[in-house]
Amino acid sequence: MSMKISVVAGSHRGESESARVASYVETVLRGLGVESTYLLDLAGNPLPLWDGGVWSGDAKWGRLWGPIEAELDDSDGLVVVSPEWSGMVPAGLKNFFLLCGSRVLAHKPALIVSVSAGLGGSYPVAELRMSSYKNTRVCYVPDHVIVRNVGGMLKGEKPASEEDASLRARIDYSCRVLLEYARAMGAIRASGRIDLKTYPYGM
């Protein structure tokens, strides 16, 4: 089965650590045989905040969001890389989920990878698991990755420390698990059971 995975780098900062981690994950996915990947970097806020034109078919949104939506639509799974900012995920990442609506991510598996310069990183995991899936119907896989002390991690070919080596092994494992979910969940979407017309929004 040919596989496509999208990776979202959720930091607004230029040259963010989240973007670096997202690019590392993309390389891992390619190494595991994923034929196609799509990396969306939210650096510099390429997407304005949601407005009513999204629902009324404003041409601006067709231009800005249309190409991204097509890439996501075509994907079998998602990796969400989020920094911890003030104990939260960045606003631009929440905006991304608003724009996704209820179709493009529905019943697709997603791996959460959170990023902290220090020992943080658990709040984005909790926030994403609590509040980004209701309407998008994205399905977070049970395992997630927290990249702590990101400045010393995932740089260069060889691990710089035991922690770096262990993190790399965990990312590899988590990506492999994500791909198994992606293979399996295609059957759910193809089953005919999903009815987003009657139930566009979760409760």
Ligand X SMILES: Cc1cc2nc3c(=O)[nH]c(=O)nc-3n(C[C@H](O)[C@H](O)[C@H](O)COP(=O)(O)O)c2cc1C
Residues that bind ligand X (CB under 6 A): 11, 13, 16-18, 83-87, 115-118, 120, 150
Q: Which residue is at the shortest CB distance from ligand X?
A: 120
Angle between helices 91-100 and 66-73 (to 10 degrees): 70
Q: How far is the CB of 200 from ligand X (least distance, A)?
A: 32
180 φψ region: left (φ > 0), alpha (ψ -120 to 50), beta (else): alpha
Chain centroid to CA 162: 27
Cβ pair 9, 43 in contact under 8 A: yes
Q: Which is nearer to ligand X, 7 or 150 (CB)?
A: 150
Q: Which is nearer to ligand X, 32 or 117 (CB)?
A: 117
Three-class SS of residue 99? helix
Angle between helices 17-31 and 162-190 (to 10 degrees): 70
Q: How far is the CB of 172 from ligand X (least distance, A)?
A: 21
Q: Which is nearer to ligand X, 11 or 174 (CB)?
A: 11
Q: How far is the CB of 94 from ligand X (least distance, A)?
A: 14
Q: Which is nearer to ligand X, 46 or 118 (CB)?
A: 118
Q: Which is nearer to ligand X, 123 or 133 (CB)?
A: 123
Tokens representing residue 155 in the block: 């740089």
Tokens representing residue 176 in the block: 């492999």
Q: How far is the CB of 50 from ligand X (least distance, A)?
A: 21
Q: How far is the CB of 178 from ligand X (least distance, A)?
A: 21
Which of 112, 117, 133 lies closest to 84 in space, CA to CA? Answer: 117
Three-class SS of residue 114? strand
